[in-house]
């Protein structure tokens, strides 16, 4: 048994993009607070935030069709698309602040400009895409979007996808040049390097195994260190940023807000191509439409990726079923998360989502050749030998009882769960995910530190000039911010001019 015991202001559990972002925000707001981090793996950004474990899309609703649904009257609802776009602008502003103030360097190592495209086939889908384009292209946030159903134009935009395409079905795409590819792993590591330089106490190979409230209102964590002995650390505020591992830790806190919540793990696989002859024929993120019955996070897309100064292509994700909550988790994770307080919620979700579970199990059983067949819907002449399978991160979707959906409703967004006194918060869910980390961590700050908000607001506005403002209602401010962040992040020369 180790004797190491510490008392600190803030403990962040997990060294992914969420803890990295919250730690960096807090260090700017209150530099003298002591922050300690515990990460069970040996490095930062090794789970979902790692560049090979997610798709690296800077989600801003420029290409993701599931953010714009068709209403029963045939019109397109763009509210969610606006919300997600605005949230990404918050991330861009914070990252620009960090670059402008030399807190992180070389933005091209984590963000690159890349056209975002949506691609559909079939008459009905083409009609939908055209309506979506009409609904978005006049909106200031989506300025510069183009639509084409002309195969020649499409050949220019996406040669790899159009070559050897025999289908006579109508096909159409939208394209917008102001999209991005984000290496969230690199960004996470940069932020942790920065935190280390600010004397944040970062402990790798330290797994948090229990969280309890102390009699004086603090939180005490039991932490297993790399030598297998147990340490005890207390803090006034704890953020559970364990990714898929957050739910079991939240349950250990026993706070009322942790009850009646469950997790539904979804695994992922990508096909990756490093053959530069093929890679050079594609330059975009091209999102398709999810298959009927597929969850929104398994929308197929073919993406150019920039990782370690090298370009590659990623196709997927293929979703699958796995009982693990983390890629490095245990097969017992799902079963162990069933507690007396959430068993009926979990059972109801199980009954409601039989077809989804069946779909995920079927997906899991696909052979490499069957996956290549799915890829051929995008790249008709794809050769199996050019593509390898990589295992992606786990996503644990939230299951809870809601008024709209009833008992055991599966949620596809992210959710901040916090104690009523703001002393502990956890982030659950995984979508839109890392792209909106800054917005979500500001939510944590608002929920957990309301007493400091007035004092902190000027600094927050220095870091995020649009804080508290609707960008869609202030198009001039949006243009100004979009242009200046593009400049700071090195995106401007290749992006469309917004002036
Ligand atoms: C297949 C896939 C594709 C995705 N695509 C995108 C995309 O294109 N764009 C996008 O914005 N987002 C995407 N996401 C979502 C995004 O990756 C996540 O939302 C984000 O990385 C979550 O960050 P996090 O810090 O919460 O979790 P993680 O990065 O998973 O970090 C959690 C950390 O906590 C540690 N941990 C867990 N339990 C403990 C414990 N008990 N003690 C100590 N440490 C612990 C883990 O080891 C891990 O390092 C995708 C995710 C997946 C899986």
What is the predicted pLDDT for the residue at 360? 85
* Ligand 1, atom nearest to 41 Cα: 47
* Pocket test residue of 48, 271, 322, 326 for ligand 1, highest count of atoms within 8 A of CB: 48
Q: For the chain, what is the radius of gyration of the CA atoms?
A: 22
Give the CA angle between residues 294, 300, 136 to the nearest 5°: 95
Residues 365 and 320: their CA atoms lie apart, in Å, by 8
Structure-block tokens of residue 420: 């009523």
What phi and psi values does residue 388 have, to the nearest 5 degrees? -120, 155
Structure-block tokens of residue 221: 């964590």
Pocket lining: 322 vs ligand 1, CB cutoff 6 Å: no
- Ligand 1 centroid–CA 179 distance in Å is 22
Pocket lining: 241 vs ligand 1, CB cutoff 6 Å: yes
Structure-block tokens of residue 114: 């890349």
Pocket lining: 10 vs ligand 1, CB cutoff 6 Å: no
Using an 8 Å Cβ cutoff, are 110 and 183 in contact? yes
Pocket lining: 114 vs ligand 1, CB cutoff 6 Å: no
* Pocket test residue of 50, 300, 433 for ligand 1, highest count of atoms within 8 A of CB: 433
Residues 396 and 431: their CA atoms lie apart, in Å, by 10
Taken in order 105, 142, 314, 299, the sign of the CA dihedral is: positive
Facing residues of 193 across strands?
none
* Ligand 1, atom nearest to 429 Cα: 19
Pocket lining: 208 vs ligand 1, CB cutoff 6 Å: yes
Residues 277 and 317: their CA atoms lie apart, in Å, by 23
* Distances, alpha carbon 130 to alpha carbons 70, 140, 153, 174, in Å: 12, 18, 16, 8
Instruction: Indicate the domain borders of the chain.
Output: 262-410
What is the predicted pLDDT for the residue at 294? 73
Location of structure tokens 């798709």: 55
- Ordered mean pLDDT values, 10 residues apiece, the chain (499 residues): 80 98 98 97 97 96 94 95 97 98 96 97 95 96 96 97 91 97 98 98 97 95 94 97 96 95 92 97 95 75 95 94 93 92 90 84 88 94 97 92 88 91 94 93 98 98 97 96 96 53
Using an 8 Å Cβ cutoff, are 24 and 44 in contact? no
Using an 8 Å Cβ cutoff, are 288 and 378 in contact? yes
Facing residues of 223 across strands?
208, 231
């Amino acid at each position: 048994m180790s004797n190491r015991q510490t008392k600190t202001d803030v403990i962040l559990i997990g060294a992914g993009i969420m803890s990295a972002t919250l730690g960096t925000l807090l260090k700017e707001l209150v530099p003298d607070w002591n922050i300690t981090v515990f990460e069970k793996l040996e490095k930062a950004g090794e789970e979902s935030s790692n560049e090979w474990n997610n798709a690296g899309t800077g989600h801003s609703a420029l290409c993701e069709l599931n953010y714009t649904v068709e209403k029963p009257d045939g019109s397109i609802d763009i509210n969610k698309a606006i919300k997600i776009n605005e949230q990404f602008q918050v991330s861009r502003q914070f990252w620009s602040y960090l670059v402008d103030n030399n807190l992180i360097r070389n933005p091209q190592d984590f963000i690159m400009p890349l056209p975002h495209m949506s691609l559909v086939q079939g008459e009905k889908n083409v009609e939908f895409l055209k309506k979506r384009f009409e609904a978005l292209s006049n909106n200031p946030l989506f300025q510069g979007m183009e639509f084409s159903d002309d195969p020649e134009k499409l050949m220019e935009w996406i040669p790899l996808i159009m070559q050897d395409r025999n289908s006579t079905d109508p096909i159409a795409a939208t394209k917008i040049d102001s999209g991005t590819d984000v290496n969230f792993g690199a960004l996470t590591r940069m932020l942790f390097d920065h935190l280390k330089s600010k004397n944040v106490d970062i402990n790798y190979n330290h797994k948090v195994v229990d969280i309890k409230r102390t009699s004086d209102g603090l939180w005490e964590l039991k932490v297993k260190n790399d030598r297998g002995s147990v340490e005890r650390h207390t803090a006034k505020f704890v953020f559970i940023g364990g990714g898929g591992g957050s739910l079991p830790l939240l349950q250990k806190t026993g706070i009322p807000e942790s009850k009646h919540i469950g997790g539904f793990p979804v695994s992922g696989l990508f096909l990756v191509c490093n053959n530069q002859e093929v890679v050079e024929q594609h330059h975009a993120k091209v999102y398709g439409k999810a298959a009927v019955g597929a969850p929104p996070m398994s929308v197929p897309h073919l993406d150019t990726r920039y990782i370690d100064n090298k370009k590659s292509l990623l196709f997927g994700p293929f979703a699958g079923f796995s009982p693990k909550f983390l890629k490095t988790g245990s097969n017992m994770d799902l079963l162990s998360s069933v507690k007396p307080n959430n068993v009926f919620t979990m059972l109801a979700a199980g009954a409601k989502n039989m077809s989804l579970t069946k779909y995920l199990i079927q997906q899991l059983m696909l052979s490499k050749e069957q996956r290549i067949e799915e890829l051929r819907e995008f790249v008709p002449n794809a050769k199996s030998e050019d593509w390898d399978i990589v295992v992606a991160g786990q996503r644990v979707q939230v299951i809870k009882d809601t008024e709209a959906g009833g008992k055991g409703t599966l949620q596809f967004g992210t959710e901040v769960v916090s104690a009523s006194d703001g002393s502990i918060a956890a982030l659950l869910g995984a979508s839109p995910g890392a792209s909106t980390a800054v917005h979500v961590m500001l939510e944590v700050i608002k929920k957990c530190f309301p007493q400091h908000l007035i004092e902190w607001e000027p600094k927050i506005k220095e870091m995020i000039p649009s804080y508290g403002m609707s960008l869609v209602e202030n198009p001039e401010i949006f243009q100004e911010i979009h242009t200046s962040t593009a400049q700071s992040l090195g995106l401007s020369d290749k992006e469309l001019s917004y002036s």
